[in-house]
Structure 1
Amino acid sequence: MTYALIVLPFVAATAAVTALSARRPGFAARMRASLITTVVLLVLTVVFDNAMIATDLFSYPADRLSGLRIGLAPVEDLSYPLCAAFGVPAVLALLRRGPRT
């Protein structure tokens, strides 16, 4: 199984939860905050993944990757911060009690 296939359910769940949270108050502000958070997390992920791979803390089997990389880091690693930046606020918005708009 490739890393892209492993990530697919997480991306689908994030998209679904984010879409469900669109009816909750503050959706536009939440999306702006998620976008800013995504940019910061992606930069940090690229920097630290490259540092950890360069120092041989871990490696990836080449046959499980798409082959696309940013430096030494595979692009598949960027899906996790993306899902976290959009999924966590969406879940929290859905868990809050209050009227839906």
Structure 2
Amino acid sequence: MTYLWIVLPFVALTAAVTLATLRRPRFARRMGASGIAAVILGILTAIFDNVMIAAGLFTYPADRISGIRVGLAPVEDFAYPLCAAFLLPALWVLLQPREAE
């Protein structure tokens, strides 16, 4: 389960930074937009990871993944697009000057 341990810090960082924006304006709207983006990125990840794995471009050693898969893709692969969908907008908000809100 090596890959799971690799993605956990990214997920924890994403959760912490996103929660840091909880009191900023339009939090609910931002979470909705991030949720939609996460779904779209998840679908694209499922499609393209499965195609690339099926084509033999790369593989995952069975002892390094959780064993939970979406098609051929291990579930750990979905952490990165999920984090991107929530972390990047949260960072954008935190880096904006307060008067711009």
TM-score (norm 2): 0.95
Runs (4+) of structure 1 moved beyond 2 Å?
none
| 1:77-96 matched pairs, under 5 angstroms | 77-96=77-96
> Following the alignment from structure 1 to structure 2, what is the Cα–Cα distance between the partners of residues 22 and 9?
20
Query: What amino acid maps onto 2:69 in structure 1?
Result: R
Q: Which amino acid aligns with 1:61?
A: P
> What SS does the corresponding residue of 1:14 show, helix, strand or coil?
helix
Task: Find the aligned partners of 2:24 and 2:82 in 1 and give their Cα distance.
Answer: 21
CA distance in 2, matches of 1:70, 1:76: 10
- Residues 49-88 of structure 1 correspond to what in structure 2 (within 5 A)? 49-88=49-88
Q: How does 1:7-26 map to 2 (within 5 A)?
A: 7-26=7-26
Structure 1: 5+ residue stretches without partners: none
Alpha-carbon shift at residue 26 of structure 1 (Å): 1.2
What's the offset of the Cα at 1:61?
1.2
TM-score between both structures, scaled by the size of structure 1: 0.95
Match of 2:45 in 1: 45
Q: How far apart are the structure 2 equivalents of 1:10 and 1:98?
A: 26
Residues matched between the structures, number:
101
**Match status 1:34 vs 2:41:** no
Identity %: 63
CA RMSD of aligned residues (A): 1.5
How far apart, CA to CA, are the structure 2 residues paired with 1:89 and 1:47?
Answer: 24
Residue 87 of structure 1 and its aligned partner are, at CA, apart by: 0.5
The one-letter code of the counterpart of 1:6 is I
**Structure 2 runs not aligned, ≥5 long:** none
